[in-house]
């Protein structure tokens, strides 16, 4: 646990008692503060009380007397589409609003760091797609090379629930736009921006607000080194804003769309080969094509970003390459579930929007595509140019019929349920094809989250493979 500093003997309110909220309450108490907690769910409040958490009704008009700050869980809106009433009341009362990320950055460094031989470091990763895989890959590379590393934030453990820093240790944080938008302090040693595509626009008031939320990771104190994906205009702009000139190697530019050369520092992947250029010279080349845990161009982008972050910490190219080979990937992200008679079954349940589904569709050859769920604005219309690899689509969930109207000439079947979709795809697939779950939709029509959807797919596949 990271005890929160700066609130000793003071009252701090906590709104939302999920994983991050509970960890925040405990970390505040460990630092000497009094944590007054609230959640709109009576069931959640009761469970928290059973764990010794002090419940305080923040919806009452006089709730803010003597409260020094309000700490908010990431899923609760503080501005768009409209502020949560508790947050609005705190702001009206002049109470500072923060989140666990802000508390982490103000509390992580401690006096005993002076005795460390190597100062601990923080790598923070944000972006629209790939940030989970990039964060996990960085953590894996560090661990495989004997570096003490902890993975936290939007993946793994809550940031305040990790262990205090040790000599030379590295904390790898995955940060969503919800987290970067509100944190009052963010001072990572290395900050990574993977890419930017439309997502969560209602929460940020549009694309500009969404980019502004991501950009804050690079503005609140500024990282010592920035790894920037430059395949979108926003990344090009961000890299330019952070750089003092063409030779400024504090910015490492990353691409999977073009070769990057010049006097600065760049990492790019072309046709399955990762290349590092620095000061106009090629430093290394790595063949990513045989790395089972990193299939497809989108994962090659993740590999480039993770490589650049680890190189900025001084790891050698060969050491990073060896770690790539043993990376197994993350559950529900291009995850190989099994194979039968030359047909592979791949779980990419995390592909909850059209852009991430596009990347999954481009990673494989002949595809039996399972898609559908609770569709987002635009549905799958934007995917038409990449449907050439789809032999047939098997549509499930709320948006199945809407998706069918957007498939053009691609053959399809309305299956409704995951079990039927897997069974039909497996029945019709032939050697060399991939049965791919890449829903291009949210899961909430049939499942509580994308993880449960992916688990249902895996269970259905395992039943097929077992001949049930």
String of DSSP letters for 135-168:
HHHHHHHHHHTT--EEEEESSSB-GGGSPPP-TT
User: For 299-358, what is each residue's pLDDT tens digit?
Assistant: 999 999 999 999 999 999 999 999 999 998 888 988 889 999 999 999 999 999 898 899
Arithmetic mean of pLDDT, 449-459: 96
User: Which residues, other chains included, contact 425 with Cβ-Cβ below 8 Å and sequence gap of 6+?
Assistant: 368, 370, 392, 394, 435
- The CA distance from 439 to 441, in Å, is 5
Cα three-residue angle 95-76-135, rounded to 5 degrees: 110
Buried b (16+ CB within 10 A) or exposed e, 241-261: ebbeeeeeeebbbbbbeeebe
Longest dimension (CA), the chain: 68
**pLDDT (0 to 100) of residue 44:** 94
Contact assessment for residue 71 and residue 98, using Cβ atoms and an 8 Å cutoff:
yes
**pLDDT (0 to 100) of residue 329:** 85
CATH: 3.90.1640.10, 3.40.50.720, 3.30.70.1520, 3.40.640.10. Which one for 11-98? 3.40.50.720
- The CA distance from 373 to 392, in Å, is 17
User: For 403-440, what is each residue's pLDDT tens digit?
Assistant: 999 999 999 999 999 999 999 999 999 999 999 999 99
DSSP H helical ranges for 364-410 = 400-404
Q: In what order do the strands lie in the sheet with 265-270?
A: 149-153, 170-174, 121-126, 190-193, 225-229, 251-255, 265-270, 273-278, 281-287
What are 140's two structure tokens? Answer: 């894996």
- The CA distance from 311 to 108, in Å, is 23
Check pLDDT > 70 for residue 19. yes
Arithmetic mean of pLDDT, 120-126: 98
User: For 175-232, what is each residue's pLDDT tens digit?
Assistant: 999 999 999 999 999 999 999 988 788 999 999 999 999 999 999 778 999 999 999 9
- The CA distance from 22 to 330, in Å, is 25
Residues of each domain in the chain carrying CATH 3.40.50.720: 11-98
String of DSSP letters for 217-232:
GGTSS--SEEEEE-SS
User: For 377-387, what is each residue's pLDDT tens digit?
Assistant: 899 999 999 99
DSSP H helical ranges for 93-206 = 100-107, 131-144, 177-182, 201-204
What are 80's two structure tokens? Answer: 């768009």
Question: What is the band of 468 on the pLDDT scale with cuts at 50, 70, 90?
Answer: low
Residues of each domain in the chain carrying CATH 3.90.190.20: 335-462
Contact assessment for residue 361 and residue 367, using Cβ atoms and an 8 Å cutoff:
yes
What are 460's two structure tokens? Answer: 């259905």
CATH: 1.20.120.80, 3.90.190.20, 3.40.190.10, 3.40.50.720. Which one for 335-462? 3.90.190.20
Cα dist from 396 to 77, 289, 344, 443, whole Å? 30, 32, 20, 10
Contact assessment for residue 118 and residue 189, using Cβ atoms and an 8 Å cutoff:
no
Percentage of the chain exceeding pLDDT 90: 89
**pLDDT (0 to 100) of residue 178:** 95
Residues of each domain in the chain carrying CATH 3.40.1190.10: 103-325
* pTM reported for the whole predicted model: 0.87
E strand or H helix that includes residue 83: none
Check pLDDT > 80 for residue 453. yes
For 30, the 3-state DSSP assignment is: helix
Smallest Cα–Cα separation from 170: which of 141, 213, 209? Answer: 141
Question: Which region, left, alpha or beta, applies to residue 230 given φ > 0 means left and ψ of -120 to 50 means alpha?
Answer: alpha
Q: What's the CATH class of domain 103-325?
A: alpha beta
């Amino acid at each position: 646990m990271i005890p929160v500093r700066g609130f000793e003997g003071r009252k701090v309110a906590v709104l939302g008692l999920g994983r991050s909220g509970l960890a925040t309450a405990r970390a505040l108490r460990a630092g000497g503060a009094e944590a007054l907690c609230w959640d709109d769910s009576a069931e959640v409040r009761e469970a928290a009380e059973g764990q010794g958490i002090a419940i305080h009704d923040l919806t009452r008009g006089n709730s803010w007397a003597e409260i020094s700050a309000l700490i908010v869980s990431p899923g609760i809106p503080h501005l768009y589409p409209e502020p949560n009433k508790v947050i609005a009341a705190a702001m009206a009362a002049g109470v500072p609003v923060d989140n666990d990320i802000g508390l982490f950055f103000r509390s992580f460094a401690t006096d005993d760091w002076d005795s460390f031989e190597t100062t601990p470091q923080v790598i923070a990763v944000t972006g629209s797609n790939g940030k989970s895989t990039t964060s996990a890959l960085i953590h894996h590379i560090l661990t495989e090379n004997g570096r003490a590393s902890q993975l936290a934030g939007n993946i793994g453990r809550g940031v305040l629930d990790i262990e205090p820093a040790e000599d030379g240790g590295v904390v790898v944080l995955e940060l969503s736009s919800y987290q970067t938008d509100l944190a009052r302090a963010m001072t990572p040693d290395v900050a990574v921006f993977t890419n930017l595509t439309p997502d969560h626009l209602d929460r940020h008031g549009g694309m500009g607000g969404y980019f502004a939320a991501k950009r804050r990771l690079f503005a609140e104190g500024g990282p010592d080194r920035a790894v920037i994906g430059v395949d979108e205009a926003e990344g090009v702009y961000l890299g330019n804003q952070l750089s003092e000139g063409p030779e400024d190697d504090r910015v490492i530019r990353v691409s999977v769309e073009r070769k990057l050369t010049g006097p600065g520092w760049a990492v790019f992947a072309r046709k399955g080969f990762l290349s590092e250029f620095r000061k106009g010279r090629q430093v290394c080349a790595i063949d990513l094509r045989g790395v089972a845990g990193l299939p497809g161009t989108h994962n090659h982008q993740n590999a480039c970003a993770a490589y650049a972050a680890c190189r900025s910490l001084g790891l050698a190219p060969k050491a990073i390459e060896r770690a790539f080979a043993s990376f197994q990937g993350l559950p529900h992200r291009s995850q190989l579930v099994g194979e039968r008679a030359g047909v592979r079954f791949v779980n990419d349940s995390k592909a909850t929007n059209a852009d991430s589904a596009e990347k999954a569709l481009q990673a494989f050859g002949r595809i039996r595509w399972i898609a559908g769920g609770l569709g987002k604005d635009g549905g799958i219309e934007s995917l038409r140019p990449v449907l050439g690899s789809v032999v047939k689509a098997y549509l499930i969930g709320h948006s199945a019929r809407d998706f069918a109207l957007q498939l053009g000439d691609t053959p399809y079947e309305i299956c409704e349920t995951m079990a039927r979709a897997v069974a039909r795809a497996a029945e019709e697939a032939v050697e060399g094809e991939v049965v791919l779950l890449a829903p291009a939709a949210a899961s909430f029509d049939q499942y509580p989250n994308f993880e449960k959807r992916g688990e249902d797919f895996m269970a259905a596949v395992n039943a097929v493979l077992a001949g049930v």
